[in-house]
Structure 1
Amino acid sequence: MVILMFLIGLVTALVGSIAGLGGGVILVPALLFLGDQLSTFDWVTPQSIVGISLVVMIFTGMSSTLSYLKHDRVDKKIGYVFLIGSVPGGIIGSWLNQFFKTDMFSLLFGCIMIVVSLLFFIPRKTPGTYLFNRGLKREKVIEGTTYTYQMPIFFGLVLSLGVGLLSGLLGIGGGSLMVPAMILLFNIPAHIATATSMFMILFASISSSATHIFLGHVEWAYTLYFIPGAYLGGTLGARVNRYLKGQAVEWFLRVLLILIGIRLIWQGIG
């Protein structure tokens, strides 16, 4: 079981870091499935899953953020705006988590994943054009290419508050919602969006996990086995991301979210 938990931490962090999800979007359904299928995972509850997921995402976020910062992929100003909203949202969501039952938890999580995956099929605005005419204008140069984008600060705060709430409630790290929002609403390039998402997830996970620790939702006897794999996976995922085209990252994310969403909806209904 120890090796299995290490591998789960590694794979979820690797995938999550590549797409800017944080890994919770994979770890949560994986533990829900194992809790149903294996007696060695009979300790699994919706609350313990979310608590473990958020603690593990601290280390996924830490390792991947360090790698992304080293290559100047993170937009820290945008990230700071998101943190102002996501931190209190995460605390509120973590508190609300204790009122959810397993079936409702799975069904809600699955529906959210399907909706988010469909958002990626919305036609993209051309580079350099903005959905919003006002806001924080940003310009970033990556490997000789200049990217410009814009985000209204108030809208970013409200969005991150809602995403933070869902993150604390579902243990998904917020990236599965924030990355599509950054790409589709603010026209932020995929590589910058994923890196900035991991930066936000690092700090948001700290506040959300603190609430779950206080509520006694974290099973430390099992959590510690996920952390080494998650740290390694986060570093590897950030490296792989640098060699992928933005379109490849988006298609990877679409397929992944649809599959996870279908699986969880089926589990919630059943």
Structure 2
Amino acid sequence: MYFFVGLFASIIGAIAGLGGGVIIKPALDFLGDYDVATIGVLSAATVFAMACVSLLKATRSGIKVKGKVSFILAAGSIIGGVFGKIIFNYLIASVRDQELITGIQAGILAFLMFIIFLFVRNIEDIKTYHLKNKIVILIAGFGLGMLASFLGIGGGPLNVAVLAFAFSMSAKESAINSIFIIFFSQLASLVITACTTGFANIDLTILGFMLVGGVAGGFIGATLSVKLSNIRIGKIFNFTLVGILLLNVYNLIRSLL
């Protein structure tokens, strides 16, 4: 079960730039076998494995990230990821009710997915930009990294929406640049966990299965991404957003009952 969660999430994540964490996080919340801290580590590690394979595959296929923009966004996301993880760890230590934390994350995710879905559906009527101010780009990366780290999702949909809106990137460009940012943000998340709370109290029994799924999914997704058109990638992105939105609404309602 967990292998297929990692596999499916990573295939979709590699194709559309979603990263996979935005699927893995609510899916593991739905299964309910692990606490929020463990889910965060399982998601981050699987997404990081997917990002490694996807970037390697994309490089060999001649697909490149958008130079300075993605590097600055990645730098900002690392800094933001540190702050997001600190906030998350503080919340874990302060709130005893794990269901409440799950509900907060699910509510924020559902709201963000709804906003992103509306944006993508109406992108042709929305003016996009080509931001060049390095400070603004760094701040954008900071915000993306902080949200992604706090929610434990990798940041894929957020990255794609920001890249399309602020830098007028196509679906394919947004996808590969999103994965590039995710690579650094998830690496930062894992390093922060290792240096603060550590992994001793986290159940990593099924991590190996999820990592294999992440690697396989990253390879398959990156291969398909090269062959698919921008229109098809956009449709996969939209369809996945709706599924994630509904799953998070369900998780939110369940946490409140």
Percent identical residues? 26
Deviation at residue 178 of structure 1 after TM alignment? 0.8
Q: In the alignment, residue 166 of structure 1 is paired with which amino acid?
A: L
* Structure 2 residue 138 is the aligned partner of structure 1 residue 157: yes
Matching residue within 249, 253, 259 for 2:233: 249
- The within-5 A match list for 1:1-270 is 4-35=1-32, 41=33, 44-73=34-63, 74-98=65-89, 99=91, 101-124=101-124, 131-132=129-130, 135=132, 152-213=133-194, 214-216=196-198, 218-270=202-254
Compute the TM-score of the two structures, normalised by the length of structure 1. 0.83
Unaligned runs of 5+ in 1: 36-40, 136-151
Distance across 2 between alignment mates of 1:219 and 1:76: 38
Deviation at residue 224 of structure 1 after TM alignment? 2.1
Distance across 2 between alignment mates of 1:266 and 1:28: 13
**CA-atom RMSD in angstroms:** 2.0
Q: What's 2:95 paired with?
A: none
**Cα deviation digits, residues 71-106 of structure 1 (max 9, x gap):** 232223322111110001111111211316122122
Unaligned runs of 5+ in 2: 93-100
Q: What's 1:141 paired with?
A: none
Deviation at residue 155 of structure 1 after TM alignment? 2.2
Q: What's 1:147 paired with?
A: none
Q: Please, which moves more after superposition, 166-175 or 117-126? A: 117-126
Distance across 2 between alignment mates of 1:161 and 1:13: 24
Task: Tell whether the 8 Å contact from 2:128 to 2:165 is kept in structure 1 after alignment.
Answer: no
Deviation at residue 262 of structure 1 after TM alignment? 2.2
Q: Please, which moves more after superposition, 113-122 or 72-81? A: 72-81
Q: In the alignment, residue 189 of structure 2 is paired with which amino acid?
A: S
Q: What's 1:140 paired with?
A: none
Distance across 2 between alignment mates of 1:21 and 1:219: 25
Q: How many residues align?
A: 241
Q: In the alignment, residue 31 of structure 1 is paired with which amino acid?
A: L
Which structure dedicates a bigger proportion of its chain to strand?
1
Q: In the alignment, residue 78 of structure 1 is paired with which amino acid?
A: V
Q: In the alignment, residue 200 of structure 1 is paired with which amino acid?
A: I
Task: Tell whether the 8 Å contact from 2:145 to 2:185 is kept in structure 1 after alignment.
Answer: yes
